[in-house]
Structure 1
Amino acid sequence: MRILLVEDDIPLAETLAEAMTDHLYVVDLAEDGEQGWDCVKAFDYDLMLLDVMLPETDGLTLCQRLRSHGYQIPVLMITARDTISDKITGLDAGADDYIIKPIDLGELFARIRALLRRGSNITPPILEWGDLQLNPSTYEVSYNHHPLRLTPKEFSLLELLLRNNRRVLSRSVIIEHLWKTESSPDEHTIKVHIRSLRKKLKATGADEDFIETVHSIGYRLKSL
């Protein structure tokens, strides 16, 4: 299960991310509302933990934007505001549940489990590009019906390219999306992952330049 945590209190965010990782959730971290929006557009998430008070775009506005664009991801609001009117405002904005700071981890995980059960019937769409298929919910990838065995980072990189179609992604953008809660690698690491992906795709029949290099800019999928 993949969770997006949108929280600008970095010590709290890191504590929550570590606890959720210990419970075998995959966690991405965004520090403001606009970063959270970019993450939602780039990946399929099973759940969003969303702080109300955020820089750039606040949590209520982000939640309203999600719903207006048709995103059905379960949203668990996190806030220090504990009045009934505050809760009603959050729920009216499109949140599914509400938890108050300071956060009790036992209560947090109980609410996460309840929301994940509620949203388990929502299946992310299979991403396709020509003969390539990637299933975000099962972590399965195939080319021309031949399965590809990818590392977690290779899978995330290929998913990012698929979600951006022909948009060119620079190495710095790829690093920002794929290493949110980890120490960032140098750009040579991206070259290594791209080379490995190309090799595995070629072995199943894809063109050698299925992932194109746009000189001095970055990478994108080859035009169909």
Structure 2
Amino acid sequence: MEKGLGENSYTVVWRRSVAEANDAISESGFDLVILDIGLPDGDGLDLLQEWRRCGFNEPVLILSARDSVEDRVAGLNFGADDYLPKPFSFDELLARVRSLFRRQGSVRQTVMEHRGIRMDLLGHTVTYQGEAVELTNREYSLLELFLSNTGRTLTRTQIGEKIWEANYDMQTNLIDVYVRKLRQHFDLNQEGPSIIKTVRSVGYMMS
């Protein structure tokens, strides 16, 4: 499954337990979760319920050998967006993933605001304290990533994979250069600490 999704241009992070999944969700921004509820250290339904209680709103597709109508209803009631019983074909899984992304795109917010920054995703414009800000495409993508993950630390690897994808060389300082450019756009009139905080030896966080 991991290989197949990767071959269809999805970036996949595979975690094998409740503990690993919780750590991944708390540290990274994900667009969709495929959750096998038969985990070795806990019940996936309890995990999903806790995520929803804590405000995680991204789509979740459950995979499970529990295939009764009652099990599927329970999964949806616990907060899943879709439920696929095992065994399943990869083509069906891929179709359901694409469907969830389409559904997600139709309801995703079109304006993001934080500390005076306003990004209009439909108009592809950015203003700061009411004044237009001109950004390159790469700066815009990086700002969108930070605004989508305010208060969450993003590692250099996560930023590189999201913004530069396979073309990013971890040995370069490109991320630092672009973060510095964003700071120059927004920090001059900002009171207090920088709007993008350096998390030493890890990455960056929009605070």
Q: For this structure pair, what is the TM-score category when the shorter chain's length is used for normalisation?
A: 0.5 to 0.7
Specify the code of the residue in structure 2 equivalent to 1:33: A
Report if the CA contact (8 A) 1:143-1:201 is conserved. Answer: no
RMSD: 4.1
Aligned to 2:175: 193
Aligned to 1:177: 158
Question: 1:78 is paired with a residue of what secondary structure?
Answer: strand
Aligned to 1:17: 6
Aligned pairs, number:
193
Gaps of 5+ in 2: none
Gaps of 5+ in 1: 1-11
How far off is 1:107 after superposition?
1.6
Specify the code of the residue in structure 2 equivalent to 1:192: L
Question: 1:103 is paired with a residue of what secondary structure?
Answer: coil
2: distance between equivalents of 1:81 and 1:199?
51
Question: 1:27 is paired with a residue of what secondary structure?
Answer: coil
Q: Find out whether 1:86 has 2:67 as its counterpart.
A: no
2: distance between equivalents of 1:113 and 1:215?
37
How far off is 1:63 after superposition?
1.8
- Map Cα deviations across residues 160-187 of structure 1 (whole Å, 9 max, x no partner): 477344x7x4xxx61353449979964x
Bigger mean CA offset, 175-184 vs 61-70: 175-184
2: distance between equivalents of 1:15 and 1:197?
33
TM-score, normalized by length of structure 1?
0.61
Q: Find out whether 1:38 has 2:20 as its counterpart.
A: no
Cα gap change, 1:126 to 1:221, in 2 (>3 Å): same
1: distance between equivalents of 2:35 and 2:92?
16
Cα gap change, 1:79 to 1:147, in 2 (>3 Å): farther
How far off is 1:76 after superposition?
1.5
Specify the code of the residue in structure 2 equivalent to 1:197: V
The share of aligned pairs that are identical, in percent, is 27
